Amino acid sequence: MSEHLRRRSDGGRAAEYPPAPEPLPVPVYDNHTHLEIADGALPLSPAEHLERAAAVGIAGAVQVGTDVATSRWSAEIAAREPRLLAAVALHPNEAPELDAAGELDAAIAVIDELAAQPRVRAIGETGLDYFRTGEEGRDAQHRAFEAHLDIAKRHGIALQIHDRDAHDDVVATLRRVGAPERTVFHCFSGGEELARTAADAGWYCSFAGNVTFKNAENLREALRVLPRELLLVETDAPYLTPAPLRGRPNAPYLVPLTVRFMAELLEVPLDGLCAQLAENTERVYGSWQEGLA
């Protein structure tokens, strides 16, 4: 399998990667990234991504699968790369297509097998997406989401949730089926209400570069009310590049831009927030040094 499985397919620009930001005073982790997606005019290899990240104080990342192929790749690279852990799952937008082809159950079984590997520390990204999938695909999304919840709980690993325009149904499913002990709202997209619901349940909320966007006051309101011990940071690279670099490719080495923005918004010392984010991330996923091949 090649180092990069696929090109970015959402019309992303073939722009150059931005210059590196100032390093963070305390290392943190990128809680969610997609290094399998080649982006930019000169795509970076996973090794190049990780070298740039280490140079600015990013200790490691969670490499996230969205289908069978990328989940296998994520598990394989994490098994040999000490700076990566893996999350494996079927993205909710994949579920209806797999179901229509009669392949959903078999694909879920592959995710279950991958979840047993020691460097696979999360099931994700899974959840519900009502933005790209209409009513006809929701049943498959719900069945896949519940199956992923079961896998995470049986294997005792974290859950990374993709929640787009589906807050109420995601929360209702977590409450009805039972959330894993460590549940993360990846690329948190709600507002203060969802943040308070997550805080009451002890669910983690991970913020990406879009918290810096001018039109994202709902995210900033959520960030302000969340307990510090439930905060995580991510890139969702190559997407959601922080302001003022929108339109350029995103990558783990740009995490410091989001962390500095968060510290300024919360009016807390940067080094203290970095330490808290690192502690929270290790609490969710465990040690980056364990389980290497």
Q: Can you list the alpha helix ranges (DSSP code H) found in 115-232?
A: 138-155, 167-177, 192-201, 217-225
Task: Read off the tokens for 248.
Answer: 């350029």
Count of Cβ atoms closer than 10 Å to residue 260 Cβ: 18
For residue 152, give the nearest of 190, 125, 186, 188 by alpha carbon: 125
For residue 258, give the nearest of 284, 231, 288, 279 by alpha carbon: 231
Q: What whole-number distance in Å separates Cα of residue 192 and Cα of residue 54?
A: 33
Q: What whole-number distance in Å separates Cα of residue 178 and Cα of residue 174?
A: 5
CA angle 182, 52, 9 (to 5 degrees): 70
Residue 155 assigned to a binding site: no
Q: What whole-number distance in Å separates Cα of residue 64 and Cα of residue 61?
A: 9
Residue 142 assigned to a binding site: no
Residues 212, 242 contacting (CB under 8 angstroms): yes
Residue 167 assigned to a binding site: no
Count of Cβ atoms closer than 10 Å to residue 142 Cβ: 17
Q: What whole-number distance in Å separates Cα of residue 34 and Cα of residue 64?
A: 6
Residue 91 assigned to a binding site: no
Strand partners, 184: 160, 204
Positions at the binding site? 32, 34, 125, 162, 186, 236
Positions at the binding site for a divalent metal cation? 32, 34, 125, 162, 186, 236
